[in-house]
Amino acid sequence: MVGKPERQVAVFGAGYIGLVTGACLAELGHRVVIRDINPEKVDLLRSGDVPIYEPGLGDMIARNKERLTFTLDLREALDGAEVAYVCVDTPPSPSGDADLSRLWTVIRSLEGAEHLKAVVVKSTVPVGTGARVRATLDEAGLTHVGYAANPEFTAEGRAVSDFMRPDRIVIGSSDEATATLISELHDGVDGPVVVMDVRSAEMVKLASNALLATKISFINEIATLCEKTGADVEEVAHAVGLDHRLGTHFLRPGIGWGGSCFPKDSEALRQLASNTGYHLQLLSAVIEVNNLQKRRAIQKLKDELGTLAGTRVALLGLTFKPGTDDMREATSTVLASRLLAEGAEVRCWDPMARPAETDPWTSTTRHDTPELALEGADAAILVTEWPQLTEVDWAKAAAAMRRPVLFDGRNLLDPARMRALGYTYMSVGRP
């Protein structure tokens, strides 16, 4: 890091985005203090443990422990800080709008921090939030402090590499000096810097996630049509994706998207449009397709078994995607709830998930291996494409099940092989 200016940075929020942002900025040579209001989380981080599973994050935090501090104290976080990053969560409110209460708590706490050079919001916020933040900073006597929107585009399971080698670094600011400062903070990151106005930067994050969600819902619609016509969606998606204008990325049929970003950001964008008097018809359809996709899996089992009442069903994989322990908006939650409502007994396996001690999970049983979850089951749904599921002895598992019925919600397994082993095998969009 020789020759690079070392900056003092305060990061508010020790969730996925805050921890990754803070650790990566420390890796780039800056001194970073991450502040959170959860004492247990801060104590855990101080002890060297990381409260979330994210590949490479723990090693990066350990490697930069001399430049990385965790605190509950606001003054300690702000002491000497040149830049304050806001990385708090913005969950949906009962009205469907983003709940910005945590963001406003942080912004108001900056009053008196006249030594700051810039405030940066990395949280996903509605378009127009930056103008309100700017006005609040001005009212607090911080007119000299720059403001920037710097949305994140990191995917769980590869967030560290996405930060260090991004497709782009988006900086929204009407102040050239602030845009330059934030760009310099990222010196050493292998990715282009794109500077724009604040409102456009806020829109980029929402639009990006909505478009990715659209690609998934689109290919799931095509998968359903393939099932009805005898076409193979895997072959269709492959050939469609070879068109350089389209690409194969996210043209993967499956049981539906979940996680912390796609559901929240899609709904937030739809609500933002509604608040302006405009109805996003395409996005509304994208969301509806995704919601139906999860329930189609239950209907397929009902069609095969006749009824789910009294049956035993195994859910293989619980997290919303492999490579993470995140259960937020996971498809498995909808599946477990629907199965229980139909009167089924639900057995579960996942190598990383830590479901909340609430319904539906308190009414299910957890097992240490896929084989144990499948034992005595009438049917199974492959929910998350963990690589461990390709290593299961599926012949042995078929013999251990009461009825070897399997719905592969991620098209992970080979249909011909599974049928040869005696399974009633169903997948998404494959004949």
399 neighbors 381 (Cβ within 8 angstroms): no
- Token pair 């350089």 in the structure block, residue: 244
Contact yes or no for 1/30 (Cβ under 8 A): no
- CB burial class (10 A; 0-12, 13-18, 19+) of residue 155? middle
Token pair belonging to 186? 């990222």
CA proximity to 335, closest of 310, 364, 357: 364
Residue type, 234: E
CA distance 234 to 136: 51
For the sheet with 365-366, list strands across it: 365-366, 345-349, 312-316, 379-382, 405-408, 424-426
Cis amide bond preceding 370, omega within 30: no
Instruction: Return the beta strands (E) in 198-354 as ranges.
Output: 312-316, 345-349
CA distance 10 to 32: 6
Q: Which residue of the set 24, 226, 261, 348 is catalytic?
A: 261
Rounded-to-integer distance, Cα 235 and Cα 418, Å: 19
The terminus-to-terminus CA distance of the chain in angstroms comes to 55
How far apart (Å, rounded) are the C-alpha atoms in residues 365 and 361?
8
Q: Which residues of 50-61 are buried (b: 16+ CB within 10 A; e: fewer)?
A: bebbbeebbebb
- Tell me if residue 261 is catalytic: yes
Enumerate residues 6+ apart whose C-beta is below 8 A from 229.
none
- Secondary structure class of 86 (helix, strand, coil): strand
* Count of residues making up the chain: 431
Spatial distance between the Cα atoms of 315 and 174, rounded to a whole number of angstroms: 50
Active site residues: 261
